A and B are shown apart, each in its own frame.
Chain A
Amino acid sequence: MAEAIKVEIVSPESLVFSQDVNSVTVPGSEGYFTIMGEHAPLMSILKPGFVTVVQDKDDSSFYVGGGFVDVSPDGVSILAEIAKTSADFSVEQIEQEIENAKKQLQLSKNDEDTGVAQAVLDGFNNFADEVKNMKPSGF
């Protein structure tokens, strides 16, 4: 069992997430990567994409619109200009984002772009499922 790692997701408007987790996957500028406990100090720019934190067996994801990640011995700080959970989106917004992601996927020329666009699309598809599962029970 890997050591727990403290993850904080901060946007300029609020502290979105702050907990000890098992691992966190972030959309680095050179591709997605996963950080686990006792990671070497690292600083990386983030692309728009999805941050996934894994906590025991649960995982939750956040949409981030660019920013950077600072991995230090004290923990992981993810500074994102936009950081949203699925609950922050409406169904229409997610559909809109899925459309955008599909367009982006068609426009992408090389494997790398395709991978990024696909990841964004998958993420929003997950969000769509979550929102659909969540909304009816709320009423």
Chain B
Amino acid sequence: MASLKDLKTRIDSVKSTQKITKAMQMVASAKLRKAQEAAESSRPYAVRMGKVLNGLGAAYATRDDAPKLLSGSGSDQTHLLVVATAERGLCGGFNSSIARFARDHANDLLARGKNVKIITIGKKGNDNLRRSFKDNIIEHISLREIKKVGYADALTIGEKVIGLFESGEIDVATLFFSQFKSVISQIPTAHQLIPAKVEVDENANSDDVISYDYEPDEATILADLLPRNISVQIFSALLENGAGEMGAKMSAMDNASRNAGDMINRLTLNYNRQRQAQITKELIEIISGAEAL
């Protein structure tokens, strides 16, 4: 049985832990708001880009002269997995769920006899995947020094991916990130970057399609658009991740604070019981001492 003094020390230490988790929760909620704003303000660009690309891509997808980024390299032997996670932990299962999702995917590909290459963005995903796919990781991109993810960061990553594709080192590229649904729910998502996924709207009426003038011409615009689209996808994935990380951290820290509160209650109860027991014991001693006289 722990002594009174031991209990007192434990209560104090749990209390200071609770202070820290509470502070972290507040920091996370402030950052979450910023991250959400950033994610939201990037949406108009991504939406419009998607719209234009779908319109152009649908017409080109089945043609022989379609750009390689759209039609693929004709093989699907080598897969590149771009796994985006957070730089920091203490955010519940956020990082491990992305990593697990990517790992399952990689194992599945390996089982089918494909080659797998991995680029990790963010330290936590790298730590996690390094254990099982040490030889498959070709590069790690750290965002540790970057306070606010800018489009330029996504552009560099995008160029790297396109470079690998054009030099024939990869055939298919897939991006793994966590989609931000709400503070308590982030969904690990895989998104195929190369070849570009074009959603053909089946319901589109031919009357709805506006005949555009193109300058210089459709093919050039499409070739210009596809690489941009990859960077935009990566950018919005990074922003979704940013918001998701903060959301996950917020709820993880909220849980931790609550657990600490429960623990303090239990310990305090224990402490008081012991204190009373001791007082009773002392009283009995005094009384029996007085009776003996």
Residues on A lying within 8 angstroms of B by beta carbon are: 8, 10-15, 28-30, 40-45, 67-68, 70, 72-73, 77, 79, 81
Contact = CB atoms under 8 A, between A and B. Distances in A.
Contacts of B151: 11-13, 81
B212 A43 contact: yes
Given A44-B214, A81-B151, A68 B41 contact: no
B74 to A, nearest CB: 27
A45 B215 contact: yes
B214 to A, nearest CB: 5
Given A13-B41, A79-B49, A68 B211 contact: no
A12 B235 contact: yes
State which size class the interface on B falls in: 20 to 34
Contacts of A43: 52, 212-215, 221
Interface string B161-192: 00000000000000000000000000000000
B225 interface: yes
Q: Which secondary structure dominates chain A's binding surface?
A: strand
Going nearest first, the 9 A-B pairs with the smallest beta carbon separation are A44-B215, A12-B151, A14-B41, A42-B213, A41-B212, A10-B45, A41-B210, A12-B45, A10-B44
B13 interface: no
Contacts of A70: 48, 52
Contacts of A45: 215-216, 220-221, 224
A40 B213 CA distance: 8
Interface string B216-247: 10001100110010001001000000000000
A68 B225 contact: yes
B136 interface: no
B97 interface: no
Given A10-B44, A11-B151, A12-B42, A41 B215 contact: no
Given A11-B45, A15-B41, A41 B52 contact: no
Contacts of A10: 44-45, 48
A68 B221 contact: yes
Interface in B37-95: 38, 41-42, 44-46, 48-49, 52
B150 interface: yes
Nearest to B150: A13
Given A29-B216, A44-B221, 11 more contacts: A12-B42, A12-B235, A13-B38, A13-B41, A15-B41, A40-B213, A42-B212, A43-B214, A67-B228, A68-B225, A81-B228
